[in-house]
């Protein structure tokens, strides 16, 4: 994997130089939370890589460091030691504005509790991701509508979140996550707030987007039904990745309906 030294150039320019199929490369990642009273070593040396088009689950018991890992890989949180490269770019080395811009342009996020703006309609929530990334208003509206169609919600475009079910809200956040055509979508317990049937629909949707659009996903989940639908499960225990399980084709159901 080539490393791009990215001093003043924008992240956009940097990632054009690297395309060897690896999206995420983490080595020796440590993260400790120190509240003054308690010191928690949440990540104790993580090495992993994700390839373009992969769908990977991170599983493990409560408190083992899954969310911390997602936050550290995606640059939401700072790491104490080690290195994280996304498309060959070390986000930690980018100036603040370039890092924010990189995240807005190249990453999508899906969270358990949706994180939608309650006063905005579905289409406005989705287009916000584009407007923040500097797209023109008209183009943003058109792309947002296309993304809502992809997740089967075009007819709900004008509804605000409280007028939608949990599954519909999560589909809006998935539309928002993919609308920028990101390098990777980070999903933290995307089905955690959903009943099992709706969770399966949302998982099927993510798998379809992964297969059809080559969208790369890293999904933190407690739900083995989600894990089974991915390409790989990384199992964490006490701040470390202790096991990796590749899913059989039979488990990932290649013939899932759209
Ligand atoms: N901001 C913080 N300050 C202090 N400690 C924290 C903070 N965030 C997480 N921790 C601690 O770090 C450890 C890992 O937490 P993390 O949220 O990553 O676990 P998790 O595997 O995602 O858990 P869960 O499945 O319950 O969401 C836990 O011991 C947690 O208490």
Confidence (pLDDT) at 164 = 95
Residue 44 pLDDT: 98
pLDDT given at position 16: 45
Relative to beta strand 39-51, strand 81-86 is unpaired
Residues 74-94 have a mean pLDDT of 93
The arithmetic mean of pLDDT across residues 94-120, rounded, is 90
Structural domains of the chain ordered from first start: 11-252 (3.40.50.300)
Each residue's pLDDT tens digit, 208-228: 999 999 999 999 999 999 999
70 with 218: CB under 8 angstroms?
yes
Distance, in Å, from the CA atom of 226 to the CA atom of 232, rounded to the nearest integer, reads 11
Helix (H) or strand (E) holding 48, with range, is: strand 39-51
Mutation pick for ligand 1 pocket among 30, 58, 65 (CB with most ligand atoms within 8 Å): 65
CB-based pocket (< 6 A), ligand 1: 33, 35, 40, 42, 60, 62-68
Residue 174 · residue 151 · CB < 8 Å: yes
Task: Give pLDDT, residue 87.
Answer: 92
Confidence grade of residue 112 (pLDDT, cut at 50, 70, 90): confident
Give residue-wise pLDDT tens across range 42-65: 999 999 999 999 999 999 999 999
Residue 249: pLDDT band by 50, 70, 90 thresholds?
low
CA of 229 to the centre of ligand 1 (A): 25
Which has more pLDDT, 7 or 124? 124
The predicted model gives 239-245 an average pLDDT of 96
> Closest ligand 1 atom, CA of 65?
18
Look at residue 235 in the predicted model and tell me its pLDDT.
97
Structure pTM?
Answer: 0.87
Mean local confidence (pLDDT), 68-72:
97
Closest C-alpha to 179, from 107, 241, 232: 107
pLDDT value at residue 258: 39
Interface predicted TM-score (ipTM) of this complex, two decimals: 0.97
Average pLDDT, the chain: 88
Tell me the mean pLDDT in the region 123-128. 96
Pocket test for ligand 1, best of 29, 33, 221, 222 (most atoms within 8 A of CB): 33
Using the predicted structure, report yes or no on whether residue 3 has a pLDDT greater than 90. no
- The alpha-carbon radius of gyration of the chain (Å, integer) is 18
């Amino acid at each position: 994997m080539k490393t791009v030294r990215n001093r003043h150039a924008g992240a956009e320019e940097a990632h054009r130089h690297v395309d060897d199929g690896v999206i995420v490369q983490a080595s020796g990642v440590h993260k400790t939370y120190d509240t003054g009273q308690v010191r928690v070593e949440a990540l104790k040396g993580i090495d992993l890589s994700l390839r373009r088009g992969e769908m990977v689950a991170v599983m493990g018991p409560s408190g083992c460091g899954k969310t911390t890992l997602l936050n550290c890989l995606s640059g939401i949180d700072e790491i104490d030691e080690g290195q994280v490269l996304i498309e060959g770019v070390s986000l930690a080395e980018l100036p603040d504005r370039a890092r924010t811009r990189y995240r807005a342009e190249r990453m999508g996020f899906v969270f358990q509790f949706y994180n939608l703006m309650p006063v905005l309609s579905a289409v406005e929530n989705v287009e916000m991701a584009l407007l923040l990334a500097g797209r023109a208003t008209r183009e943003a509206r058109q792309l947002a509508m296309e993304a809502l169609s992809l997740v089967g919600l075009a007819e709900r475009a004008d509804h605000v979140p409280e007028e939608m079910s949990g599954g519909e809200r999560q589909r809006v956040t998935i539309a928002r996550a993919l609308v920028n055509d990101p390098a990777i979508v980070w999903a933290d317990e995307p089905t955690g707030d959903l009943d099992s049937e709706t969770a399966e629909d949302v998982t099927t949707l993510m798998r379809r987007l992964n297969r059809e659009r080559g969208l790369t996903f890293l999904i933190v989940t407690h739900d083995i039904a989600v894990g089974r639908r991915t390409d790989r499960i990384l199992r964490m225990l006490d701040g470390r990745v202790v096991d990796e399980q590749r899913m059989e084709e039979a488990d990932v159901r290649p013939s899932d309906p759209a």
